Structure 1
Amino acid sequence: MGKMRTQSVRWRAVAVLASALLVGSVAACGNSDTGGGGGSTDDGKITMGFSQVGAESGWRTANTTSIKESAAAAGIELKFDDAQQKQENQIKAIRNYIQQKVDVIAFSPVVESGWDTVLKEAKDAGIPVILTDRSVDSADKTLYKTFLGSDFVKEGRLAGEWLVEQKKTASGPVNIVELQGNTGAAPANDRKKGFGEAIAANPNLKIIASQPGDFTRAGGKQVMEQFLKANPKIDVLFAHNDDMGLGALEAITAAGKVPGKDITIITVDAVKDGMQALADGKFNFIAECSPLLGPQLMDLAKKVHAGEEVPPRIETEETTFTQEQAKEALPNRKY
């Protein structure tokens, strides 16, 4: 009998201890929630999953460097993936980030369409998504928190307006060829739209050929070679980025023409190699598209992770460059 009473006392002691531990556990969770950590019991460090388009250009390389350096400076753990220009790779990377339960997902979409399903998966998992550099065409704007990047239509329009001003005294047709970016990509679609709208002001300005060069130097060179063979008279080249323009320079020179003189060259980006070509007179005009989005991205990541409201679209500050302006800017150019 004494033995049974002893066991009973022990069981009651265990029950009291278990109850105390349970209360303590609930209190700890309550403290975590009120502390704004979203129920997390880790050290509070934010983890970001980022899927990059690829490494197709000098602009993209500078963009990747900015993101990696800014994440380290902000104390954000970065899980980085290179999609190598394939949408299926980006979708796979985003799903991996969801499984890993990262705090924030950011990516630069290869193309505009086809994201609704995976973005809904992230939303259902409670993981905020930030679009960088390129947008998506999803009708449901709640699938992502914000878009950080450039106004590509404006870039194309600025390029076109400069050309309209330069050719306002032209009495005959001005033949333009266009090197587009990746088919379906936001910057390719929008820069083409903005440029086309601007040059409509002068009926003499006509785009006689337009083809994707995939934002690469090799693509720019190859397509420009085709343009030159098919069109004996080309007055202007509009390239959707510097790298395609730089590739086109090789084709133009090989064809016995002088870039910047025989053919007016307009590009977008203003990376260092493009700026050098402009300063040297091989390019004639560049509309800037800054790749240095890292600091703004990390600031946004902290805000959306904390549940703060952010604007649905945040544009980067950019400008345009003529030859003289390029010469002035080059010594301090960071990319």
Structure 2
Amino acid sequence: MSAVHKKAAAALAVLAVLGLSACTSNDPDDGNDNLKGGTSDAEAGSNDEAGDKITIGFSAPAADHGWMASITESTKAVAENYEDVELVVAEGTNDPQVQIQQIETFINDKVDAIVLLPFDGAALTPIALEAMEAGIPVVNVDREFNDPNAARVTVLGDNYGMGVSAGEYICSQAGDDSDAVVAEIAGIDSLPLTQDRSKGFKDALKECGLDVDNRVAADFTVQGGEEAATNLLQAAPKIDYLWNHDDDQGVGVLAAIDNAGRDEFVMIGGAGSKNAMEAIKAGNSVLKATVIYPSTQGADGLKLARLLAQEKSVDDLVEVEVPRQVQLYAPVVTADNVDKYLPSAFTS
């Protein structure tokens, strides 16, 4: 195992121990085993056995992106499995001030726990601290606060690990070809998550003597992906491998590739959308793999918030308290294993 992948492997170990879910779709009725469980089928004495009735407040950005929509829908689906949980879902918003007001309402209503995916982690830190000081445990999802004391638990994807997984996949495909041309279409460059993904990608490629020859940034949208890919393809007459950070913007990336009539390279996606996985399974495009960034972080946060509010721990751990941080793994999906992940993918 390479040194750069140790972090991702550690995250997988944590995930395996906790038994938390990996990814989900926008449709809670698609038979996704990851969202099953709950009080109705719980064994006596288990964590899923019905306990005291609790109220959990949930707030996340607007569902204007397939991945973000899945965050909210999977959280709702998991909550429905628990007869002892009342989930209060605030309307999705990309306005930090509105989200702050939502958390203030949760505090005033004295909910038992809050699951919060902040649009802006720094902006939401003070109100999260206020909730914690009021005795309401906060589960921070995906975008971290500035102060670790603002959350009792933080549930994260592995952005650095995504880059590592994508880079290691390219290394495995390139073999001894040290002249392979590698391109990258990032998300929003100003975001730490994009910076982490690019760093992991660069570090993994370095392990096999490759580097990023051409790089552009997009904005996680279809339109932005198409524009960025068009610019990249014009600037790079030859590409062997292309990693696109996000499968939603990847819809636009693939459109640009089709328009340019380019098919000489292998493309790797990011996040793990249903659209991308279907293309991988069909095998009729340049897209041959995608790296999962779990969209169940809110659902996992809901389960952890329930345990906190009911003063329970995690069944499979010796510890008597819920952990402070859970980081989910970033596996690579290819034609060889796509059937394993396709039923639980979100729709772009």
Shorter chain as denominator, the TM-score bin is 0.7 to 0.9
Give the Å deviation of 1:312.
Answer: 0.9
Describe the superposition over 1:106-165 as per-residue Cα deviations: whole angstroms up to 9, x where unpaired: 112334434332222112222110012x13152x42221111232221122111111122
Q: Are positions 1:120 and 2:129 aligned together?
A: yes
Cα RMSD for the two superposed structures = 2.6
Q: Which residue of 2 aligns with 1:310?
A: 322
CA separation in 2, counterparts of 1:207 and 1:137? Answer: 34
> Which of 156, 159, 173 lines up with 1:166 in the alignment?
173
Q: 5 Å matches for 1:216-255?
A: 216-255=221-260
Find the structure with the greater CA-based Rg.
1
| Residue equivalent to 1:291 | 295
Cα drift, residue 295 of structure 1: 5.0
Alignment equivalent of 1:48, drawn from 47, 52, 56 = 56
Give the 3 Å change call, closer, same or farther, for CA 203–171 of structure 1 in structure 2. closer
Measure how far apart 1:329 and its partner are. 3.1
Q: How does 1:1-335 map to 2 (within 5 A)?
A: 44-75=52-83, 76-132=85-141, 134-138=142-146, 140-172=147-179, 174-181=181-188, 183-184=190-191, 186=193, 188-213=194-219, 215-258=220-263, 262-281=264-283, 282=285, 283-293=287-297, 296-308=300-312, 309-316=321-328, 319-326=331-338, 328-329=339-340, 332-333=343-344, 335=346
Contact 2:162 2:197 in 1 (8 A): yes
Per-residue CA deviation, residues 299-329 of structure 1 (Å, 9 max, x unaligned), is: 3122211345210112335532212322x33
Q: Aligned in 2, Cα 1:185/1:98: closer, same or farther, shift over 3 Å?
A: farther
Deviation per CA, 1:37-69: give whole Å up to 9, x if none.
Answer: xxxxxx953222211122233222222211111
How far, CA to CA, are the matches of 1:109 and 1:127 in structure 2? 17
Residues 186 and 198 in structure 2, CA contact (< 8 A), matched pair in contact too: no
1:7 is matched with none
Higher relative contact order (CA 8 A, sep 6+): 2
Partner letter of residue 195 of structure 1?
F
Distance 2:342 2:225 in 1: 27
Cα distance in structure 1, aligned partners of 2:186 and 2:342: 28
Question: Percent of pairs identical after alignment?
Answer: 28
AA of the residue aligned to 1:245: G
Contact 2:244/2:268 (8 A) holds in 1: yes
Question: Using a 3 Å threshold, how does the CA distance of structure 1 residues 331 and 248 change in structure 2: closer, same or farther?
Answer: closer
Unaligned runs of 5+ in 2: 1-50, 313-320
Number of residues of Structure 1 aligned to a counterpart in Structure 2: 285
Task: Say if 1:111 and 1:185, in contact at 8 Å, map to a contact too.
Answer: no
| Aligned-partner SS, 1:135 | coil
Higher mean C-alpha deviation, range 101-110 or range 176-185? 176-185
Summarize the Cα distance change of 1:155–1:331 in structure 2 as closer, same or farther, 3 Å threshold: closer
| Paired residue secondary structure (1:117) | helix
The answer to whether the Cα contact below 8 Å between 2:226 and 2:256 also exists between their aligned partners in 1 is yes
> Is the 1:104–1:305 Cα contact (8 Å) retained in structure 2?
yes
* TM-score (norm. length: structure 2): 0.73
Cα distance in 2 for residues equivalent to 1:330 and 1:299: 22
Deviation at 1:92, TM superposition (A): 3.0
Flag structure 1 segments of 5+ consecutive residues without an equivalent.
1-42
CA distance in 2, matches of 1:251, 1:82: 34
Give me the TM-score of the superposition, normalised by structure 1. 0.75
